[in-house]
Amino acid sequence: MNEMRTWSLLRAVAAAAVYGYLIIPLLVVVLFSFSDKSFFTFPPSGFSLKWYQAAWASERFLGPAVRSVVLALLSTLIAVIISVPAALAMRKMHPGRLRAAIEFLFLGPLIVPALIVGIALLYSFTKVGLIDTFPGLLAAHALIVFPFVFRAVLTSVVNLQQHLIDASAILGAGPLYTFRRIVLPALVPGLAAGAIFAFIVSLDQFTVSLFVTQTEQAVLPVAIYKYLYDVNDPVVAAVSTVLVVFGLAVAMVIDRFGWLRHLGGTAG
């Protein structure tokens, strides 16, 4: 009995250490963003929102932030449009090496390090003139976020109830009607989870963006990096805090509706 309590205590301590390791740096950034000084002190000597005001007024962040949001929306939309027919086609394939190979190909950007993807895109886009262009940036982000949407949609597709689809066909419904009334509602949880996660990944994508942009099409993570290279003040901490709060809010929404299982579920 004492041994079980000891192991339970050790697991609790280990879990607390891991959570502390992950959360404490975020707390430092949040505290720094509300500091009234341009350098970090603990405990904080004062409270101020001037760094948030400075971030809002700075031209170095507002433009890239708008570009990042638009880019995340468009790349997520492209990933959704491609993922639905791809997942439905995968469902009709018999389990085997061919299906496994195609699924591995679709999930490749999840496996290959972002650094390698960025270098590959740099060489490819240089040859076709897409470096530092919005279409090139959009193509890169769509490539990165596609696996997240595809995986979530594929999990929902595998769980489709075939007897409902068969019943719809027997009753005379056409393919489009069956898709709209039977298939699409079943895909909504996977689509929602994948789309939200893809939006966050695109919004936070730094490595690939750095390789395919220079100055004209800078996104928010790249703008933060370049600002830190020139200036070291709490403005970046304020911008980072907003991103952290947004990410936490989105994670709570995903967890609240039970969509998280679609991101990590098996495809069968």
Q: Which domains does the chain have, with CATH numbers?
A: 59-264 (1.10.3720.10)
C-beta separation of 262 from 194 below 8 A: yes
**pLDDT value, residue 258:** 60
Percent of the chain residues past pLDDT 90, beyond the cut: 6
C-beta separation of 132 from 216 below 8 A: yes
Residues 6+ apart with CB under 8 A from 78: 138, 142, 146
For residue 214, how many other CB atoms are within 10 A of its CB? 12
**pLDDT value, residue 134:** 87
**pLDDT value, residue 42:** 65
The C-alpha atoms of residue 122 and residue 100 are separated, in whole angstroms, by 29
Compute CA distances 97 → 107, 151, 268, whole Å.
15, 18, 14
**pLDDT value, residue 74:** 93
pLDDT tens-digit readout, 194-215: 888 888 888 888 888 888 887 7
**pLDDT value, residue 3:** 66
pLDDT tens-digit readout, 207-241: 888 888 877 778 888 888 888 777 777 788 888 88
The C-alpha atoms of residue 177 and residue 185 are separated, in whole angstroms, by 12
**pLDDT value, residue 268:** 42
Q: How confident is the model at residue 33 (pLDDT cuts 50, 70, 90)?
A: confident
Mean pLDDT across the stretch 67-96? 85
pLDDT tens-digit readout, 164-188: 766 777 777 666 767 777 777 778 8
Mean pLDDT across the stretch 152-173? 74
The pTM score is 0.76
Q: How confident is the model at residue 266 (pLDDT cuts 50, 70, 90)?
A: very low
Q: Indicate the average pLDDT of the chain.
A: 79
C-beta separation of 71 from 202 below 8 A: yes
Task: Give the Cα-Cα-Cα angle 40, 46, 48 (nearest 5 degrees).
Answer: 90
Identify which of 31-45, 117-131, 152-166 has the greatest average pLDDT.
Answer: 117-131
The C-alpha atoms of residue 253 and residue 248 are separated, in whole angstroms, by 9
Q: Answer whether the bond into residue 221 is a cis peptide, omega within 30°.
A: no
Grouping H, G, I as helix, E, B as strand and the rest as coil, residue 209 is: helix
Residues 6+ apart with CB under 8 A from 110: 147, 148, 151
Alpha helices by DSSP H, listed for 34-133, are 50-57, 59-92, 97-106, 108-111, 114-128
Residue 129 has pLDDT above 90, yes or no: no
Compute CA distances 38 → 30, 111, 134, whole Å.
14, 40, 35
